[in-house]
Amino acid sequence: LVYQDTTQGWNADNIVDNPPTVPTSYLVIAGGGGSSGGYQAGGGGAGGYRNSYASETSGGGGSTETPLSVVVGTNYIVTVGAGGAGGPSIGGNQGSSNKGGNGSDSVFGTITSVGGGGSAAYWHNPAPNNIGNSGGSGGGAGPFTGSAVLTTRAAGTANQGYHGGGCNGYADPYMGGGGGGAGAAGDDAGAAGVIGNGGVGLSSSITGTATFRGGGGGGSGWSSSYNPGAGGNGGGGDGGQMWAGGTYTPPDAGTVNTGGGGGGEPQQNTVGSTGGSGIVILRYPNTYTLTNPGSGLTMSTATDGSDKVTTLTAGTGNIQLN
């Protein structure tokens, strides 16, 4: 036996030293959900939001997670989720099909954030067909007579995001519900004068600069009296606006690399807006270097104090610390 050190103690003299592990903080955000094709569509839900940096919270009211212990010289898979596609152009009753597309999951090793839920529209009647898709955060519902908010809120994922806004009937501004965000649920809509704003995202300083991400998309409006739903702070797209004989204002897509949901599409026979792509951000001691063996990822690295911060904005592949 040979005394190795205070950690390993006495071992056989042919022991192979275990490689060190490096506590690595992460912010992993999935792609946001797209909005349904028209009309009067809700906003897409934000991508799932998981955070282990400092005391910052994860989405859906979740606690700060534990940094991942990364083994030096070992490959870890990373995937940056794409935003969900806008739903196809529709001009008649679709039942429960053809809603906005869900965003794609983002992954860092054993950490997976779930893609945001796509939204529904008026043409997904009757209730509960007009509920959006569940996801990291839920997609907003489409308005329809007889709808009840409690049965048309699309669920978010625990500790990643909030539910999408439901719909309570069908009255001016004839608006879809807001998409759920990482920091708050999407607003309900459907009742007279009620605006379906997207749920707010969350702010993180993992890069050294406080930045909001993970906002839900705003619901669309069919009214000359009310503005459409605003996208949640953190990349959620604003809803579009239209009314009979009026001017068409298209919705905004979710912002790239925020996981924001797409804004609701107001006009029938029009394709919905897309969700914003996700992002993976890793923070680790500056005595180590992160590489991408085999390529496949778009990334950049900066230094903040005694740490390095690597931001991965697209693709899938392996990363390794050395």
Which tops the pLDDT comparison, 6 or 162? 162
The residue-averaged pLDDT of 178-192 equals 97
pLDDT band of residue 292 (cuts 50, 70, 90) is very high
> Which pLDDT score, from 0 to 100, does residue 312 have?
98
The residue-averaged pLDDT of 7-16 equals 70
Residue 221 structure tokens? 């409006």
pLDDT band of residue 14 (cuts 50, 70, 90) is low
Q: Provide, rounded to the nearest whole percent, the portion of the chain with pLDDT above 90.
A: 90
> Which pLDDT score, from 0 to 100, does residue 16 have?
63
The residue-averaged pLDDT of 204-226 equals 96
Give the model confidence (pLDDT) of 40-51 as tens digits: 999 999 999 999
pLDDT band of residue 4 (cuts 50, 70, 90) is confident
Give the model confidence (pLDDT) of 62-106 as tens digits: 999 999 999 999 999 999 999 999 999 999 999 999 999 999 999
| CA–CA dist 63, 160 (Å, integer) | 10
Q: Which residues contact 246 (CB under 8 A, 6 or more apart)?
A: 224
Q: 151 phi and psi, to 5 degrees?
A: -105, 5
Ranges assigned E (strand) in 104-262: 106-108, 111-113, 202-204, 211-213
Q: Provide, rounded to the nearest whole percent, the portion of the chain with pLDDT above 70.
A: 98
The residue-averaged pLDDT of 164-181 equals 96
State yes or no: pLDDT of 215 exceeds 70. yes
Give the model confidence (pLDDT) of 188-206 as tens digits: 999 999 999 999 999 999 9
Q: Looking at this protein, which amino acid is placed at residue 154?
A: A
State yes or no: pLDDT of 8 exceeds 80. no
State yes or no: pLDDT of 5 exceeds 80. no
Secondary structure of residue 25 in the 3-state scheme:
strand
State yes or no: pLDDT of 277 exceeds 80. yes
Q: Taking the mean position of all CA atoms in its chain, how far away is CA 303?
A: 26
Q: Which residues contact 316 (CB under 8 A, 6 or more apart)?
A: 77, 78, 79, 80, 107, 296, 297
Mean pLDDT rounded to a whole number for the chain: 95
pLDDT band of residue 17 (cuts 50, 70, 90) is low
> Which pLDDT score, from 0 to 100, does residue 11 have?
74
The residue-averaged pLDDT of 25-41 equals 96
Answer yes or no: are the C-beta atoms of 225 and 175 closer than 8 Å: no
Q: Taking the mean position of all CA atoms in its chain, how far away is CA 116?
A: 5
State yes or no: pLDDT of 13 exceeds 70. no
How many residues does the structure list for the chain? 322
> Which pLDDT score, from 0 to 100, does residue 18 have?
75
Residue 1 structure tokens? 């036996």
State yes or no: pLDDT of 15 exceeds 70. no
| CA–CA dist 264, 271 (Å, integer) | 10
β-sheet bridge partners, residue 311 = 281, 300
Q: Is the pTM of this model over 0.85?
A: yes
